[in-house]
Amino acid sequence: IAHQLTVNVQLPKDKGGAEGMAVWIDSEGTIRPEYIAKLAEVQGLDSKEALKNFRGVRSFNSDHQVLLAEKVEELIKEGLPIKLVIIDSLMGHFRSDFSGRGQLADRQQKLNKHLHTLMRLATQYNIAMYVTNQVMAKPDTFFGDPTEAIGGHVLHHASTYRVYLRRGKKGTRVAKLVDAPAMPESEAIFQVTEKGIEDV
């Protein structure tokens, strides 16, 4: 989805885009420029231009991730038309840098500050924020989904829209809207192909 969004944000407004750039802060080594180039061609964009219109950077710990998010404002002030910031994965470094219950309060405080930086950038500069997250097992769950998002209430309250992704049948994926203002919970089935995200 992040690769697709990196291309879609560059599309003209009459094709659903924002005529802007994407910044991708990658904590998990998931950026694939060759896939971005392929998706750009499918959308009718020049693949070389599409790669120029995105900035991808690897983060190595939670401090580095926070710093990179703060640097986005400098890029905007330099005149880059940034319209999307992707953080994949938001909680990966926080989870490894703050292990154990004894550090939970420190982790949540740092996470809260990081999220407020992202929310301020989104509001002040009209930028979309897309963050991925991890889930953990809830072994005490007998009914319903036995997984829970990492990050707790701090992350839940900072997110305007929360979508839970899971594998579907026959190579499909299911996106479930679990939290959104004035919208009911709902699901959509899609598949990821060489052409990108496609409805089923």
| C-beta of residue 98 within 8 angstroms of C-beta of residue 106 | yes
Q: Which residue has the tokens 């940034």?
A: 82
Strands 173-179 and 186-193 turn out to be antiparallel
| Range 104-122 average pLDDT | 95
- The pTM score is 0.92
Q: How confident is the model at residue 65 (pLDDT cuts 50, 70, 90)?
A: very high
Domain segments of the chain: what residues?
2-159, 160-200
Backbone angles phi, psi at 115, to 5 degrees: -65, -35
**Domain 2-159 indexed as CATH 3.40.640.10:** no
**How far apart are alpha carbons 164 and 175 in whole angstroms?**
6
**How far apart are alpha carbons 53 and 20 in whole angstroms?**
7
| Range 20-48 average pLDDT | 97
Candidate from 34-43, 105-114, 130-139 with smallest mean pLDDT: 130-139
**How far apart are alpha carbons 43 and 41 in whole angstroms?**
5
Q: How confident is the model at residue 121 (pLDDT cuts 50, 70, 90)?
A: very high
Summarised one tens digit per residue, pLDDT across range 7-25 is 999 999 999 999 999 999 9
How high is the mean pLDDT of the chain?
Answer: 93
